[in-house]
Chains A and B, each alone.
Chain A
Amino acid sequence: GENVEQHPSTLSVQEGDSAVIKCTYSDSASNYFPWYKQELGKRPQLIIDIRSNVGEKKDQRIAVTLNKTAKHFSLHITETQPEDSAVYFCAASYNDMRFGAGTRLTVKP
């Protein structure tokens, strides 16, 4: 089955800086790559996703890039704010969705 690796496991940035989280996947058939944000004690919530026919997608301060050849995709958050602090999970999906191990992002005011 699909195996998703995510790095780093923790990331601390100053407010206003950018944050980048990277993921790799193993199954070349995967064609859907969402990113979820999970606040403490809450459910994962989708923040952005990308499909395999697209290389980059942006939504305000959040962008995702996908390199299908290399089987990796990344989340970019610009102008970080303290409320961006959370755990971020990448995922890859073909028949079922598998998640990375998560990145705990801390944005220091």
Chain B
Amino acid sequence: EPEVTQTPSHQVTQMGQEVILRCVPISNHLYFYWYRQILGQKVEFLVSFYNNEISEKSEIFDDQFSVERPDGSNFTLKIRSTKLEDSAMYFCASSDDGQGNTGELFFGEGSRLTVL
């Protein structure tokens, strides 16, 4: 069964550094998402991406964050100048069930970011 894959599974970084989290969505999916989950808390929407551009973003997704689809398979989340409060699990998800962006989300295993 096709899966969303994410790398790295865990990244430790120093405060102020830049990190890039990578995702390979399911190949025939057209909608891509990043979510964040701080330990023990809810899954928070960051951004959705369709047709090579951001379609929606939350208030969390400020200038510190950016997303890119650099080639036909990868979908990346870049976090600049990381802060302690950026420590969280970051989930990539993709979707396409023929009903646009209101279909089932398939989540990756997540990338745990620890900012020291």
Residues of A in contact with B (beta carbons under 8 Å apart): 1, 31-32, 34, 36, 38, 42-46, 49, 51, 89, 93-102
Summed over the interface, the residue pairs from A and B with CB atoms below 8 Å come to a total of 55
Interface stretch of the complex, out of B68-76, B78-86, B101-109: B101-109
A105 to chain B, nearest CB (A): 15
Annotate B75-116 by CB proximity to A: 1 below 8 A, 0 otherwise: 000000000000000010000000101111101111000000
- The main secondary structure of chain A at its interface with chain B is strand
- B103 touching A32, Cβ below 8 Å: yes
> In the complex, what residue of chain B is closest to A1 when comparing beta carbons?
B58
Chain B residues with CB under 8 Å of A102's CB are: 41-43
Q: Which of B33, B48, B91 contacts A43 (CB 8 A)?
A: B91
> Does A46 contact B101, Cβ atoms closer than 8 Å?
no
Residues of chain B within 8 A (CB-CB) of A89 are 42-43
What are 22 A-B residue pairs whose CB atoms fall within 8 Å in the complex?
Answer: A32-B103, A34-B105, A36-B43, A43-B91, A43-B107, A43-B108, A43-B110, A44-B43, A46-B105, A49-B104, A51-B102, A89-B42, A89-B43, A93-B102, A94-B102, A95-B55, A96-B48, A97-B105, A98-B45, A99-B42, A99-B43, A99-B45
